[in-house]
Amino acid sequence: MDRLAKRYLRSRKIPGTTCSGCGLGQVHKKVLLAIEQLGLGTKDIVWGTGIGCAGRQIFNTWKGDNFAGTHGRVYALATGLRLALPEERKIILTAGDGDAFGIGLLHLLHCARRNLDVTVVVADNFGCQSTGGQYGCTTPRGYVTDSSPYGVREPGWLENGLDILDMLRDAGATFLARHSSFEGQSAVDSCAQAIRHKGFSLVHFIYPCVTHFGAVSLQSGDKARIFRWFEGLFRPEAGNSGDPRFRSGVYHDAGSSRPEFASSLKEWTRTVRREAAGRD
């Protein structure tokens, strides 16, 4: 067994149940490498997951404490949990594109507004793949999926001048990064920065689904060709094919410019308590 798996993962969940060729394992590995790089142990982190491929496959892989929330609400669960946990305990949430940017976007934005100290890892496979390959809010326009047989007719969060990370930045997120699952150390570094960051951090990983998006939308059973297509999304020089193009790396780092929600609420509570005790 891989040293990371041995140290951080539950043997019962290894190997995982992802499809052959799925990029989710690579995303998970980047986060684990970052945890190792930071020298954190299993008791330092509580790991939450959402619904869909990313949530179901990652749930309870972590050797420490785990929870899997209802669809899109794991951010609200984490808000309460953050207040209950000691400040040094980390919360990492792994969720899919539908969970974070679709059904759970309201809660995600409010976590950003509050600058809640959590690290959200969005594992984006361009749609609802766990249910068999329907389009979602990050599926590029025009592509055929099982629920868009004539091509996706609505604009996604990642094209036509829209970028979900812009919205999260404007909502108050203090650390944002984007990578593909193919990237190496640069992605690990972003994850490490995100986990170390005290405040709301989010790393948006785009990874290939070979079973549905690859087979139906890209009409290819050739994994190498699917991988190249995904890699191409991160090469702006690849020309204007109509597909979205992304820059990888840290997108936004506001450091400690905004107070973190839970620690400032705890500090304020201590102040109120002291003053009340003084008056009584």
In the complex, which residues of this chain contact other proteins (CB under 8 A)? 12-13, 42-43, 46, 49, 51, 56, 59-60, 63-70, 73, 76-86, 89, 106-107, 110, 265-266, 268-270, 272-273, 276
Q: How far is the CB of 28 from other proteins (least distance, A)?
A: 16
Distance (Å, rounded) from C-alpha 65 to C-alpha 141? 39
Q: Quick one: 224 or 272, whose CB is closer to other proteins? A: 272
Pairing of strands 90-96, 45-49: parallel
Q: How far is the CB of 232 from other proteins (least distance, A)?
A: 35
Angle in degrees, CA 125, 166, 172, rounded to 5 = 110
Distance (Å, rounded) from C-alpha 229 to C-alpha 211? 15
- Cis ω for the linkage preceding 259 (within 30 of 0): no
CA distances from 213 to 145, 225, 243 (A): 7, 12, 14
Determine contact, residues 18/25, Cβ cutoff 8 Å: yes
Q: How far is the CB of 270 from other proteins (least distance, A)?
A: 8
Q: Quick one: 89 or 228, whose CB is closer to other proteins? A: 89
Give strand pairing partners of 240.
none
Q: How far is the CB of 261 from other proteins (least distance, A)?
A: 9
Q: Quick one: 15 or 86, whose CB is closer to other proteins? A: 86
Q: How far is the CB of 37 from other proteins (least distance, A)?
A: 21
Q: Quick one: 31 or 116, whose CB is closer to other proteins? A: 116
Give strand pairing partners of 124.
206
Q: How far is the CB of 75 from other proteins (least distance, A)?
A: 8
Q: Quick one: 154 or 280, whose CB is closer to other proteins? A: 280
Q: Which residues contact 1 (CB under 8 A, 6 or more apart)?
A: 11, 14
Q: Quick one: 16 or 232, whose CB is closer to other proteins? A: 16
